[in-house]
């Protein structure tokens, strides 16, 4: 009769081995996020350009208003950012990433705001800085997905010597 109180070394090694699910290397997962993001981004870019174009007048004036070039551009840019974020999320999740969709969309929104701000500060002219800032939604989508996949955050409260308090987040990535 075996009570489970004592095990031979072979039995304990055998029972301590727990089969972990297969997870691809992070570089492979990020490549999949970029590929899926690009694929989904292209699809929603086309939808955004079409929706933006539909806001222009149906009859073709000889001198179209500026909005007829701005609306399709903005629609395509918003569509590509949203599509890239969604693609990043499903591509990363497909390969075992544990990132959250809301964090990924938040990274995209933060990048959109920064890119739009740089575009406005450049007065609508595309220079190297505003052009690079227009790429922020794509980069921040991947960064936000990866950070939400591996971040372990907890609230932190600290007291200062003068009686004040500091509230924040502590974490490891």
pTM over 0.75: no
Per-residue model confidence as pLDDT tens digits over 82-96: 999 999 999 999 988
The answer to whether 26 and 55 have CB atoms below 8 angstroms apart is no
pLDDT-based confidence at residue 59 (cuts at 50, 70, 90): low
Q: Residue for token digits 């052009």?
A: 131
Percentage of the residues of the chain whose pLDDT score is greater than 70: 75
Phi-psi category of residue 96: left, alpha or beta, with phi > 0 → left and psi -120 to 50 → alpha: left
Q: How many CB atoms lie within 10 A of CB 122?
A: 15
Q: What is the pLDDT of residue 6?
A: 47
């Amino acid at each position: 009769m075996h009570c489970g109180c004592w095990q031979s070394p072979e039995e304990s090694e055998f029972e301590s081995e727990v089969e972990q699910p297969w997870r691809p290397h992070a570089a492979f997962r990020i490549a999949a996020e970029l590929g899926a993001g690009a694929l989904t981004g292209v699809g929603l870019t086309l939808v955004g350009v079409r929706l933006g174009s539909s806001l222009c007048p149906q009859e073709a004036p000889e001198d179209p208003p500026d909005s007829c070039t701005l609306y399709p551009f903005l629609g395509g840019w918003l569509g590509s950012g949203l599509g890239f974020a969604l693609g990043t999320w499903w591509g990363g999740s497909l390969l075992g990433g544990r990132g959250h969709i809301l964090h990924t969309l938040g990274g995209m929104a933060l990048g959109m705001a920064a890119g739009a701000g740089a575009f406005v500060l450049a007065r609508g002219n595309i220079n190297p800085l505003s052009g690079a800032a227009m790429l922020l939604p794509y980069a921040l989508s991947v960064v936000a997905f990866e950070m939400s996949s591996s971040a372990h955050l907890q609230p932190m409260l600290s007291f200062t010597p003068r009686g004040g308090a500091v509230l924040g987040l502590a974490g490891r990535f």
